[in-house]
Structure 1
Amino acid sequence: MDYSKLIDDEIWRFIRETDAHYPPDAVNRTVAEQRQVYDTMCRAFFAGYPDGLNVRDDAIDGIPIRLYEPAKPKGTVVYFHGGGFVVGGLDSHDDVCAEISDQTGLRVVSVDYRLCPEHPHPAAFEDAVTAVLYASQVWDEPLVLAGDSAGGNLTAAVCHTLRGSVQIAGQVLIYPGLGGDMTKGSYIDHANAPMLTMDDLKFYSAIRFETPPNAPDPTAAPLEDTDFSDLPPTVSITAQCDPLADDGMTYRDAILAAGGKAVWFNEAGLVHGYLRARHQSDRARRSFARIVDQITMLAQGEWHH
């Protein structure tokens, strides 16, 4: 794949800036040290909080959360951060959540779910379910779920598990990993993409489980479910230069085949993790605006597709 033609100068600068924060021996460092490197890198892109936003830390049954609230919230977004289930937390996606809250007028609940390898699957999934149940009981509807990468996986897994019992207005999945077929499509075409490779995916998959799964598990890989009916309206937004890109398409197709509402956007020339580039790349900025618009649409009970 010729990324020199697919990726523009702004995104290449973002990739180089990201890479500059990773020492050559990062992959050989302890998990705790890798988390520190990741958080430091994310903080380098921190854009601050919008004016007038109330931000505070709290907990749900021992699960740390960060609340972002505009003056008069019009609903709630529960947000799950990315990081391969290994890195990331409340600080890594701090300004992303703040800007989503500010631009949508919705309360955002960022969830600091447990991470691997200390807490293998299903720990993160269980924390995600707990947070969504809490939000559904404490705050008025509408309730939208959203997440990027591993967080997109958790978002979809929760929607599959809670359908029929919790009213969820919609879900927005940002370059999610949903358990697609790693032998074809974008997994092969973009196996060596900048920012995320197949080798990275295999590492994260292996470290996620205490023992390798021996049967389909939709709580870990939503695309392994056999029933895609009765899911909330779904928006999948992926990056073209990403091995995970086809997961969004496959998931959309499964929901549409089951009679549901789903749409997929594959953002041209973007790479995994581009949310951090939204203030330095026109393409990433436009995609972030799309994310905000889709969350707003779902919270208003509308469907424009």
Structure 2
Amino acid sequence: MPDYEKLMDDEVRAFLARTEQHYPPDAVDLTVQDQRRVYNAMCADFDVGYPDDVTAQDRAFGGVTCRVYSRAAPVVGTVFYCHGGGFVVGGLDSHDSICAEFCAGTGMQVIAVDYGLSPERPFPGDFEDAWAAFEAVCAETDGAIVLAGDSAGGNLVAAIAHYARGRIDGRITGSLLIYPGLGGDRTRGSYVTHADAPGLSVRDMAFYQTLRSGGQDHTGDPRFAPLQDTDFSGLPPTVILTAEFDPLSSDGEAYRDAIQDAGGRAVWIEEAGLIHAHLRARHMSTRAATSFARMIQALTLLRTGQITDLD
């Protein structure tokens, strides 16, 4: 196993230590309610509030509670955001300041989706919530829509991009997937090399998948695992940002290759020296801050369907 203590820099080690003060490496051994309690406490510790010019309001889209972030300046598009948390933890508050900073950095309104969590609402409930909200956002807003999400949320917005083909065309100008779990081959690549990475392990992933699946076999359903689709044509320009020390890293490479092989445009960037969930480290790690700036750049470019100028 890699010696992560030596491979991570001091700032990333400090981020991990602060994370584990609230959310221990063996958190999946807790009850779901206790997992949510410690996860929420961790997210609250990292919350930095809103930039001065950003406000937010909760409202429903398609019967699903969402949070709409906006600035006083005119809206130039919409980021449709799904949060991470393994489909088990997280919500509107867990990624609150992250979405506010996306709004401030891009000038776009950000609509964050409070989709149902497992085990109370296993698949396909989570996808159905995200899709219902997306349909309503398309009907009730104008202009470009950029899909974005981290981890489990990256899975959901990728699934929306696949499902939207032939149903809602012309609105999605791009997708930003942040260390997404897309249902790749767990017998190879980063799933093996970084099976026990800090921040997320293959064991953690198995726990989350068991709860999300509800004990059912969803093999081959791209709403559950977008990498298991048989058709990757017609997808919007896509940027996938992964972390070097993360079992999910290989999903980014595989998804980029699948889109490119189908004639589409996709960029995969692996962030060196970073771990899963480094969005929360953006104010305490130089590497994470650089990655966050790249996310802002990607969202801004994707509003007009561009990815060639991504640093």
Instruction: State the TM-score bracket (shorter-chain normalisation).
Output: over 0.9
- Most deviating of 219-228 and 2-11: 2-11
Task: Output the amino acid matched with 1:278.
Answer: R
Structure 2 partner of 1:109: 111
Structure 2 matches for 1:25-40, cutoff 5 A? 26-40=27-41
Note if 1:287 corresponds to 2:288: no
| Residues 81 and 149, structure 2, Cα contact 8 Å, conserved in 1 | yes
Aligned residues: 305
Structure 1 partner of 2:204: 200
Unaligned ranges ≥5, structure 2? none
Structure 2 partner of 1:67: 68
Structure 1 partner of 2:21: 20
Structure 1 distance, partners of 2:63, 2:41, is 25
| Residues 83 and 112, structure 2, Cα contact 8 Å, conserved in 1 | yes
For residue 63 of structure 1, report the CA deviation from its aligned partner: 1.2
Structure 2 distance, partners of 1:159, 1:181, is 21
Unaligned ranges ≥5, structure 1? none
Q: Secondary structure at the match of 2:298?
A: helix
Note if 1:254 corresponds to 2:258: yes
Structure 2 distance, partners of 1:28, 1:298, is 39
For residue 5 of structure 1, report the CA deviation from its aligned partner: 3.4
| Residues 28 and 204, structure 2, Cα contact 8 Å, conserved in 1 | no
Query: Kindly tell me: are residues 284 and 24 of structure 1, through their superposed partners in 2, closer, same or farther at Cα, counting changes over 3 Å?
Result: closer
Structure 1 distance, partners of 2:54, 2:206, is 39
For residue 211 of structure 1, report the CA deviation from its aligned partner: 2.5
For residue 140 of structure 1, report the CA deviation from its aligned partner: 1.0
Structure 2 distance, partners of 1:238, 1:4, is 20
1:138 to 132, 137, 140: 140
Structure 2 distance, partners of 1:24, 1:234, is 31
- Normalized against structure 1, the TM-score is what? 0.97
For residue 271 of structure 1, report the CA deviation from its aligned partner: 0.2
Structure 1 partner of 2:191: 187
Structure 2 distance, partners of 1:175, 1:152, is 7
Structure 1 partner of 2:84: 82
Task: Output the amino acid matched with 1:244.
Answer: L
* Cα RMSD (Å): 1.3
Query: Kindly tell me: are residues 303 and 195 of structure 1, through their superposed partners in 2, closer, same or farther at Cα, counting changes over 3 Å?
Result: closer
Structure 2 partner of 1:94: 96
Structure 1 distance, partners of 2:25, 2:277, is 20
Structure 2 distance, partners of 1:187, 1:227, is 24
Query: Kindly tell me: are residues 17 and 60 of structure 1, through their superposed partners in 2, closer, same or farther at Cα, counting changes over 3 Å?
Result: same
Note if 1:263 corresponds to 2:245: no
1:80-126 per-position Cα deviation (integer Å, ceiling 9, x unaligned): 00000000000000000000000100000000000000111001101
Query: Kindly tell me: are residues 23 and 218 of structure 1, through their superposed partners in 2, closer, same or farther at Cα, counting changes over 3 Å?
Result: closer
Structure 1 distance, partners of 2:196, 2:262, is 33
Structure 1 distance, partners of 2:131, 2:19, is 32
2:239 to 235, 241, 246: 235
| Residues 232 and 262, structure 2, Cα contact 8 Å, conserved in 1 | yes
For residue 52 of structure 1, report the CA deviation from its aligned partner: 1.6
For residue 303 of structure 1, report the CA deviation from its aligned partner: 3.1
Q: Which 4+ residue blocks in structure 1 deviate beyond 4 angstroms? A: 23-26
Q: Secondary structure at the match of 2:172?
A: coil
For residue 289 of structure 1, report the CA deviation from its aligned partner: 0.2
Structure 1 distance, partners of 2:31, 2:183, is 26
Structure 1 distance, partners of 2:153, 2:35, is 18
For residue 215 of structure 1, report the CA deviation from its aligned partner: 3.5
